[in-house]
Amino acid sequence: MAHTSEQVLEGLADIVNEIAGIPTEDVQLDKSFTDDLDVDSLSMVEVVVAAEERFEVKIPDDDVKGLKTVGDAVDYILKHQG
Nearer to another protein, 2 or 35 (CB): 35
**Residue 25: DSSP 8-state:** G
The least distance separating another protein from the CB of residue 13, rounded to whole angstroms, comes to: 20
Whole-number minimum distance, CB 4 to another protein, in Å? Answer: 27
Helix H or strand E segment including 14 = helix 5-20
The DSSP code for 39 is: -
Nearer to another protein, 48 or 70 (CB): 48
What residue ranges bind another protein (CB under 8 A)? 40-42, 44-46, 48-49, 61, 64-65
Minimum separation from the CB atom of position 20 to another protein (A) = 12
Q: What is the identity of the amino acid at 74?
A: V
46 φ/ψ angles, rounded to the nearest 5 degrees: -65, -40
Q: Are 47 and 33 in contact (CB under 8 A)?
A: yes
